[in-house]
Amino acid sequence: MNLGDILQKEQIITDLRAANRWEAIDELISNLVSTGKIKPEHREQIAAVVKKRETSMSTGIGFGIGIPHASTDLIYDVVGAFGRSKKGVNFDALDNQPVNLVMLFLVPQGQFQKHLHTLANIAKLLHNKEFRQALEAAPDAEEMMKIIKNPLGS
């Protein structure tokens, strides 16, 4: 699973309003509810699982990237939402820098290999400086989606 498999342009927030990682997680989960990827009645439970995971160790991995993620039995396929913050989000990142790109994803409970592969693929892609810069410069979600679908101009 990579970003292009998980996201549609409706799942991209081009200007996150969040000031910190908790608000960013809530904003991205709200997007998953509004796009029909998770049921409204599961919102709080899923938010709690993601925040519990985030409390154990920040998913702010440096380079302005945050990848909050969790497993839950409330979904049947990998789902995610992507947010871009122009002002930066305080994510308690490993390098203590604000986060500009946040990719939240959820994996069905018990799919450990899929979880690891998805996390690795997303992290690898977001570690590419040109890819990050292209996403940060894109004017809208449609353009961001094109970049995600064709990550390195291949």
Does the annotation mark 69 as catalytic?
yes
Token reading at 85? 């913050």
Q: Among residues 86, 118, 92, which one has the least CA distance to residue 18?
A: 86
Among 42, 69, 117, 127, the one annotated catalytic:
69
Please, are residues 45 and 73 in contact by the beta-carbon 8 Å criterion?
no
Task: Identify the burial level of 10 via C-beta atoms within 10 angstroms of its C-beta, where 0-12 means exposed, 13-18 middle and 19 or more buried.
Answer: middle
d(CA 48, CA 39): 15
Token reading at 138? 């894109």
Residues taking part in catalysis: 69
